[in-house]
Structure 1
Amino acid sequence: MALTYHVLDVFTERPFGGNPVAIVLEADRLSSSEMQTIAREFNLSETVFVLASSSPGHTARIRIFTPSRELPFAGHPTLGAAILLADLRTSLVNGESDAIIALEEEIGSIRVGVRKRGGGAAFGEFDAPKISNAPEALSEPEEISAAVGLISTEIGFENHKPTLLKSVPTFAFMPVANLEAMAKVRVTPKHWVRAFTDRGVQGVYLYTRQCVRAQSAFHARMFAPDLGVPEDPATGSAAASFAYIVQEFDVLPDGTHKRAIEQGIEMGRPSAISLTMTVARGKLEGVRIGGYAVRIAEGVLKI
């Protein structure tokens, strides 16, 4: 069996930035174990397998795997798959195209708007799944700070404190005082298990208002060793959950609010994530995640 695959860099307009994702087309004949084996072979944060949709209202069904397990949803694989499918299936008119790609995922249906202009990188944006749980305070500051190689005084800024948000996946959110502290962050396994693994945390998202880029509102790093991801250069699902943390502490007024998040800079893979939040009656009513993606490789898997 021969299967075509593509590799895209997501949340970047230039090759070799952002977060790479491998996308395997026409993967219907693969078993779950074969998909997991292929994901380990690519050894990227996630690998996407594109299958035929189960209903005519959807473009395709996708399954998402890290090197160690399947995920019901993830941001940059969703965006990358949608941009690739739009590129393969939509014709350009005067060098431009617009498409709506409807994806069936384990979490449900995700609709992605994709636009391409003037031969540049394509931009995609999707409505993130809603989260019904409220953020929970994370206690034991010495333990959680030690788990990421920091001291407790380097955790927190303004009124922002460490929180846990149970979603898909479940993230811990840790505000960090400044960029100097962010540069020191390292996973400390013996503390990590007690601080995060035992609490069901799948990823730890660290953020600060100090940024490298003038246009960014937050600088972030994300670690998920329990998912086989030592560090992620861009994390759309975490950014979607982060919107609830922003609203929890910043208490945004009613209206639409846009924030640019930079990530991956310490890894040498700078990423830019567009976060759009809609607030009504003091509550977060909608979250959109957007970004660019570029195709950098393609090939054939021989199974």
Structure 2
Amino acid sequence: MLACTFTKASRSRSRMPTVRVYQVDAFTTTIFTGNPAGVVLDAERLDEQQMRMLARELNSGDTAFVMPPAGPDEDLHVRFFSPRKEMAFVGHATLAAHAVLQKLDPRPVRRQGGRTGVVEVRATGHGLAISQPAPAPGREISAAGLDEVLSLLGLDRSQLEAAATPRVFGTANTRLLLPLKNAAALDAAHPMLEALAALSPRIGAQGYFLYVHGRDEGGVFTESRMFCPALGIDEDAVSGNAHTMLGVQLLLQGLLPAEGGIARFTGLQGRHLGRGGRVAVELALDADGRAHTATIAGHAAIVFETTITLP
């Protein structure tokens, strides 16, 4: 493989640019499981329209476009595109991009710049760890809005977990977190995708993250599913970013134990797609027990690599 280096010559766009493209499965050690993501190196050779075209063609859910650093506090700069739109930050695509970079040029830490600021990605004995400020506590939605969401998911209030409150988290990437009573309720969800996509702007949530907590099977504490039809993703296999929101949610509800200023759990997602993956979550807490830093960690498996020349 070629080393991943950024040179002055590579910054200039050619009329028919060639880029290195990888397909990577994130939050797993086994290909064809976890969450697939596209990774494009040499992306400084592309304009925005070419990035959008390539993301649609790869159709991997989300694609990370890796470019040279935009400032002295970065080691690289990344833009993320789903098949439909640009995303501010994508956890599993970040993990995928750094799995590729680690294979080409191993480093203990890299500082990734992007629309949400600088994110630190560290190599650990348990895979790659991504740290960023913990998400702010979410807001509740109206009773009528909740009933509409549940109806479009094929669920009702009797299947909600009484000890937790549905909340919308996030600013650039927004998710409605829905606590369910048990795995049977999680299995029962049958979303009306077009109607949910139309509802997203009205309730201010681009995705719907359904979860159950309290499991203790193979080290897993939560299991979840996520539907993001407004972003062109019917069901997301494994979401790192949503799991940081889930950690704050569980902490707020007193459902996540903490010790020594740290709260940890492992979440399972993707079982319903046959692509199960695991996300390790760690929240660092301040003296008042509030989360100030969220870290997600996991492995990734490179499925294939190729080069593409764009017209």
TM-score of the superposed pair, with normalisation by structure 1:
0.89
Secondary structure at 1:221's aligned position in 2? Answer: strand
Is contact 2:193-2:234 (8 Å) kept? Answer: no
CA deviations 1:34-66 (Å, max 9, x no partner) are 111110101111011111112344221111000
Q: Tell me the residue number matched to 2:123.
A: 114
The percentage of aligned residue pairs carrying the same residue is 24
Alignment of 1:210-229 (within 5 A): 211=215, 213-229=217-233
1:196 deviates by 3.3
Q: Tell me the residue number matched to 1:276.
A: 282
Please identify, of 81-90 and 44-53, the stretch whose mean Cα deviation from structure 2 is larger: 81-90
Do residues 166 (structure 1) and 170 (structure 2) align? yes
Counterpart amino acid of residue 279 in structure 1: L
1:129 deviates by 3.3
Cα separation, 1, equivalents of 2:179 and 2:200: 16
Q: Tell me the residue number matched to 2:77.
A: 61
Counterpart amino acid of residue 136 in structure 1: R
Counterpart amino acid of residue 153 in structure 2: V
Cα separation, 2, equivalents of 1:193 and 1:102: 34
Q: Tell me the residue number matched to 1:103.
A: 112
Q: Tell me the residue number matched to 2:308.
A: 301
Cα separation, 2, equivalents of 1:259 and 1:130: 15
Q: Tell me the residue number matched to 2:127.
A: 123
CA deviations 1:203-256 (Å, max 9, x no partner) are 111000265943110001111100111111111111112222111112655621
Do residues 175 (structure 1) and 179 (structure 2) align? yes
- Aligned pair in 2 of structure 1 residues 282, 56: CA closer, same or farther (>3 Å)? closer
- Aligned pair in 2 of structure 1 residues 190, 293: CA closer, same or farther (>3 Å)? closer
Counterpart amino acid of residue 274 in structure 2: G
Gaps of 5+ in 1: 91-97, 117-121
Do residues 201 (structure 1) and 224 (structure 2) align? no
Q: How many residues align?
A: 289
Cα separation, 1, equivalents of 2:129 and 2:54: 27
Counterpart amino acid of residue 111 in structure 2: A
1:131 deviates by 2.9
Q: Tell me the residue number matched to 1:93.
A: none
Cα separation, 1, equivalents of 2:221 and 2:268: 8
Gaps of 5+ in 2: 1-16
Q: Tell me the residue number matched to 1:257.
A: 263
- What's the Cα RMSD here? 1.9
Secondary structure at 2:71's aligned position in 1? Answer: coil
Q: Tell me the residue number matched to 1:143.
A: 148
Is contact 1:210-1:219 (8 Å) kept? Answer: no
Is contact 2:134-2:248 (8 Å) kept? Answer: no
Please identify, of 175-184 and 64-73, the stretch whose mean Cα deviation from structure 2 is larger: 175-184
